């Protein structure tokens, strides 16, 4: 599936041992935590490069993540 939105950061799991700053995709339908399929769920420098930008991303939506399966495409 494809999702379009703005890449932002936010706190994941506040107050827990898993709390950390994460990368999210804000879409018209909601906010989805981003990760590359097979990538590190806690830190991905390649995704941080998109913070503040609008993208279209191909991937799979599951309980915790939108797992990107192809390189995101920047949009306006």
**pLDDT digits 0-9 by tens, 19-31:** 889 999 999 999 9
Percent with pLDDT over 70 in the chain: 100
Residue 13 DSSP code: S
CB–CB of 60/69 below 8 Å?
yes
Give 4 or 76, the one with higher predicted confidence. Answer: 4
What's the CA gap between 37 and 31, in Å, rounded?
Answer: 18
Q: What is the pLDDT of residues 44-73, one digit of tens each?
A: 888 999 999 999 999 999 887 899 999 999
Domain ranges in the chain are 2-13+34-75
pLDDT of residue 24: 95
Mean pLDDT, rounded, of the chain? 91
- The count of other CB atoms within 10 Å of the CB of residue 48 is 13
Q: What is the rounded distance in angstroms from the CA atom of residue 76 to the CA atom of residue 38?
A: 28
Q: What is the Cβ-side half-sphere exposure of residue 65, based on CA atoms within 13 angstroms? A: 18
């Amino acid at each position: 599936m494809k999702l379009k939105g703005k890449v932002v950061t936010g706190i994941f799991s506040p107050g827990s041992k898993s709390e950390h700053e994460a990368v999210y995709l804000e879409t018209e339908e909601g906010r989805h935590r981003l990760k590359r399929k097979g990538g590190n769920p806690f830190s991905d420098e390649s995704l941080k490069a998109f913070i503040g930008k609008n993208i279209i991303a191909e991937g799979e939506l599951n309980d915790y993540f939108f797992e990107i399966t192809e390189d995101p495409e920047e949009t306006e």
